Structure 1
Amino acid sequence: MSNLESGNANPSLSSSFVAARSNRLAVIERIWSDHSVRALFRGVAWTGGAAAIERLVGLVQAYYVARLLGIDAFGKYGLLFTTIALVSMVTGLQLGLTATVQISRYLTSRPHRAAAVMRLCEFVTLSLSVIGLVAILFAPEAIAHWLLDSPFGGQVIVAGALIALFAVAGGVQEAILQGFEEFARLSIARVVTSLLGFVLLLIMGRAGDLTSVITAIAVASIARTLLLFSLKESATRRLGLRTRMSEIIAAAPVIVEFSIPSLLISLVSGLSQWYGLLMVKQGATGFRDLAFVTVGVQWRSAVVFATTILASVAVPMMSRLLASGDTAATRRIHRLNTAANLLAAGAVVVVVLSAASHLLAAYGDEFQSGQLPFTLVVTTSLPGVYIVVLQNLFVSQGRMFEVLMQTIVQGAMQIVVYWVVVPRYGVSGFAAATLFSTFATCVVVHIWVASSDMRTC
């Protein structure tokens, strides 16, 4: 009779199982006892929950807008928002990222420096955004004719300019709150304003034209910025942050050392994508094809939102740990950041691609013929997530010029491949070229990180 039949378990197997379980529990307890790890998970829980709701509202809103406008106007909607993002990058100088990293670095050790960087970022972004808005107001009809093939779309361009202005201003307020590690209040504000934006769209967008839709989004952007500004000022008073004009002027070199490289990174990446979209637009079914890309990008964003969540928590945390010289804790956070991002992104990609035909059908019958570009664009999120996670490590160390060089490599590859492929293969060529260049950059950045050392700040 066997041990199982006699009711006696193998004692060696039982002891091995108990020992293995004890070891696993000990590892989990050791990891969880690390204050930085607990702080990371708390921040991720708040930010992740808010971002998930925000992303869900955004996807429902996209379905609504696609049904409301139709496929061609939805393509114009996608191109307009890509352009708004590009304008926001230029006028904002990417000072939001600067604020997050610099404030988290100096908040405890040099609070006057943190306050000076905060006010500098706010002043510069507001000034540049207003200048950009005024410049656009000189010729909105001409811009509409060139970008949207619509000589009567001046109101759309003006509303889009307002979205860009308040996206920059609100983005800096959000970045400052991230630097303060005010993840709970920021998360609540993001959920409230995303729901408010959808309600405004339902009310103001009922006319069913692009102008009313963009105007509703502009009003929501203004409301979001005002709420974030209120929360930031409240946190500033609670933390007792004060500064003087001389300290703000002394902080100005941070724009050259950090913000300019950060701006160039986003600009190179944004311009290469924008160039590809303009080439797609020139095809016989340009705006229709752009609608396919817009849907793919929206669902790619659903995949990479996990990266954004974790980066908003991990980057300020790693920056703070490096400032204290704790490279071991920084490496632990980086490993957790990498594993969590890749697991989350992989799972979401599998789900999205499995349901691709149903997702496209929900936008409308005309969208179902875009399954190939949709699949390729969503797939680019996997190497894209890995690139961003690796670059988070460079960003937290302030090594922005190295990230810039990596981005230039990717942007140059994209432009060359778009120029060769898109005129012949259209929107599918655009999607395939994006996947190829992203994967190639992934390999380059991996090798770069493997050959680099960790620097304390």
Structure 2
Amino acid sequence: MIPYLKKIIQHPFFTNSLWAIAGSFISKGINFASIAWIARILGPEMFGEYNVIQTTVGMFGTFSGLGLGLAATKLIAEFRDRDIIKVGRIISTLYLLSFLISFVVAIIFFSIAGLISNNLLNNDKLTLLLQITSVIVIFDAIAGVQNGVLSGFEAFKEITFIGIIVGIFSAPLLVFGTIYYGLTGLTVMLLVSRIINVVANRVYLNKKFKTHEVRVRPQINKDVLKSIFDIGIPSFLSGLSTSPVSWITTSIFVNQPLGYQSLGTYNTANQLRTLVLLLPDSAGKVTMPQLANAFGNEDIKKFKKIVVITFVWNLVLSVLPAVILFFFGGLFQNFFGDKFNLSSSLIAAVLATGILVALTNAVGYIFICSNLIWYDFILRIFWGIALIILILLYGRHNGAIGYAISILGASIVHMIAQGIVLLIKFKYKPNK
């Protein structure tokens, strides 16, 4: 028994998972504490406005990111043991592409911020704040590629340290900005936190490049563009079927009476879903490069083994925290204050959604790493259509709980659709 346990502990999946989980616990813990404080200061309505800003940034971030972070993870994991020169060309191309695309998207975002806030969000106070966050789009795109590169090298120890550094510096700044300058101060400090993240990533990446003798130059190498876009475009389209859909449903929701207040309440409860996904998402950061590496080396046995581990890992690591968090929902209410009405039904809906998302993410990893990413895109379209229909028919008329149940219903549709595809089409093995 002892030798078997020793073998498990020494396995890269286990050690990398520990680093990823440790980093997520610390960084997410710091983030949770700062969000709770910020929510108490802002109150439900302004916290709802803050969430709309975040959702809008996420939507434009989908366009600027173009799936390049995921492409970085898969391609670097696939080629790092075979062709380090090609890895350098891939990274060089990804860097320049991410900057150029995000710069154009940021200019468009800045230009139409007034149109979005006045005509679509029905809140002219958000114009300046959206213009400030347009710059965030650039730094998010760069950080996405940087994180993808680090994950491709399985540099989870470094990712952990970066998360801690960014959390320690950013959390006090966010709270400070909120206390003294309200939503405007919070928005400015969000931008500052993104800059800190990019700088920290760059420091650790330079060390990693030196260790692996990777040469990175700011240029686009045409020979790797096809490989990048073969992954990036489907990934981008998958994001296009989720992030903009979330923004559309949010826009519909906030245009109802007390919409911003209800959205603030929902997103407070939604922090529980973030906690449920903390461990599965951490494991996913390890799963992705290992699946891609096994696929690239045509190691079918290893690929199947990681697939099984991923399912079991995500199920256990989502159900256990969900059960614990449900029974301690009252304590969670105390973190955010009495202004937020977090009912047991709202908490249950959010936690159930977290479990389903953890499982659907596990299937998504397999599709992506098996060059079947188009399946992930098509299935997310089903999710998006279901969510919009549920919001229009039910969610927008029933406050925070209506919004939560609509998202839960869409997640159930997504899960069922994935199950059908797995039963009919997927063979659980790389097929080149």
- Superposed pair shares fold, TM > 0.5: yes
Paired position in structure 2 for 1:342: 315
Q: How much does 1:187 deviate?
A: 1.0
Paired position in structure 2 for 1:20: none
Q: Per-residue CA shift, 1:265-321, capped at 9, x if unaligned?
A: 011012222222222212211011101221132221111122221111111011111
Worse-superposed segment, 326-335 or 38-47: 326-335
Q: How much does 1:152 deviate?
A: 4.1
Return the match for 1:282 from 225, 234, 255: 255
- Pair 1:378–1:278, CA change in 2 (3 A): farther
* Structure 2 residue 88 is the aligned partner of structure 1 residue 88: no
Q: How much does 1:244 deviate?
A: 7.8
Measured in 1, the distance between the counterparts of 2:218 and 2:189 equals 38
* Structure 2 residue 8 is the aligned partner of structure 1 residue 32: yes
Q: How much does 1:369 deviate?
A: 5.1
- The answer to whether the 8 Å contact 1:377/1:431 transfers is yes
* Structure 2 residue 152 is the aligned partner of structure 1 residue 179: yes
- The answer to whether the 8 Å contact 2:39/2:336 transfers is yes
Counterpart of 1:170, as a letter, is A
Task: Give the gaps of 5 or more residues in structure 1.
Answer: 1-23
* Structure 2 residue 254 is the aligned partner of structure 1 residue 254: no
Measured in 1, the distance between the counterparts of 2:87 and 2:316 equals 35
Measured in 2, the distance between the counterparts of 1:80 and 1:290 equals 12
Worse-superposed segment, 316-325 or 429-438: 429-438
Q: CA RMSD in A?
A: 2.2
Once the two structures are superposed, the pairs formed by residues 283-302 of structure 1 within 5 Å of their partners are: 283-302=256-275
- Pair 1:358–1:266, CA change in 2 (3 A): same
Counterpart of 1:447, as a letter, is I
Q: How much does 1:416 deviate?
A: 2.0
Larger radius of gyration: 1
Counterpart of 2:205, as a letter, is K
Measured in 2, the distance between the counterparts of 1:82 and 1:215 equals 16
Counterpart of 2:372, as a letter, is R
Paired position in structure 2 for 1:455: 430
- Pair 1:153–1:279, CA change in 2 (3 A): closer
* Structure 2 residue 15 is the aligned partner of structure 1 residue 42: yes
Counterpart of 2:8, as a letter, is W
Measured in 2, the distance between the counterparts of 1:28 and 1:325 equals 27
Q: Per-residue CA shift, 1:208-234, capped at 9, x if unaligned?
A: 410001111210110110110221122
- The answer to whether the 8 Å contact 1:66/1:363 transfers is yes
* Structure 2 residue 52 is the aligned partner of structure 1 residue 76: no
Measured in 2, the distance between the counterparts of 1:203 and 1:427 equals 28
- Pair 1:280–1:153, CA change in 2 (3 A): closer
* Structure 2 residue 166 is the aligned partner of structure 1 residue 193: yes
Measured in 2, the distance between the counterparts of 1:112 and 1:80 equals 41
Question: Could you say which structure has the greater relative contact order, defined with CA pairs below 8 angstroms and 6 or more residues apart?
Answer: 2
Measured in 2, the distance between the counterparts of 1:244 and 1:63 equals 42
Return the match for 1:359 from 332, 348, 351: 332
* Structure 2 residue 391 is the aligned partner of structure 1 residue 415: no
- Pair 1:108–1:285, CA change in 2 (3 A): same
Q: How much does 1:357 deviate?
A: 2.9
Q: How many residues align?
A: 430
- Pair 1:218–1:371, CA change in 2 (3 A): farther
Measured in 1, the distance between the counterparts of 2:194 and 2:378 equals 33
Paired position in structure 2 for 1:324: 297
Paired position in structure 2 for 1:230: 203
- Pair 1:283–1:154, CA change in 2 (3 A): closer
Q: Per-residue CA shift, 1:391-445, capped at 9, x if unaligned?
A: 2111111211111111112222222222222244343222212112212321221
Worse-superposed segment, 279-288 or 141-150: 141-150
Measured in 2, the distance between the counterparts of 1:173 and 1:410 equals 29
Counterpart of 1:414, as a letter, is L
Counterpart of 2:354, as a letter, is S
* Structure 2 residue 90 is the aligned partner of structure 1 residue 117: yes
* Structure 2 residue 353 is the aligned partner of structure 1 residue 380: yes
Identity across the alignment (%)? 17
Return the match for 1:100 from 51, 73, 77: 73
- Pair 1:272–1:155, CA change in 2 (3 A): closer
Return the match for 2:239 from 252, 257, 266: 266
- The answer to whether the 8 Å contact 1:103/1:115 transfers is no
Q: Per-residue CA shift, 1:3-43, capped at 9, x if unaligned?
A: xxxxxxxxxxxxxxxxxxxxx557546x639x7xx111111
* Structure 2 residue 370 is the aligned partner of structure 1 residue 397: yes
Measured in 1, the distance between the counterparts of 2:270 and 2:88 equals 36
Q: How much does 1:173 deviate?
A: 0.7
Q: Per-residue CA shift, 1:335-388, capped at 9, x if unaligned?
A: 122212211111111112112233124212121255433431222111111111
Task: Give the gaps of 5 or more residues in structure 2.
Answer: none
Measured in 2, the distance between the counterparts of 1:423 and 1:337 equals 35
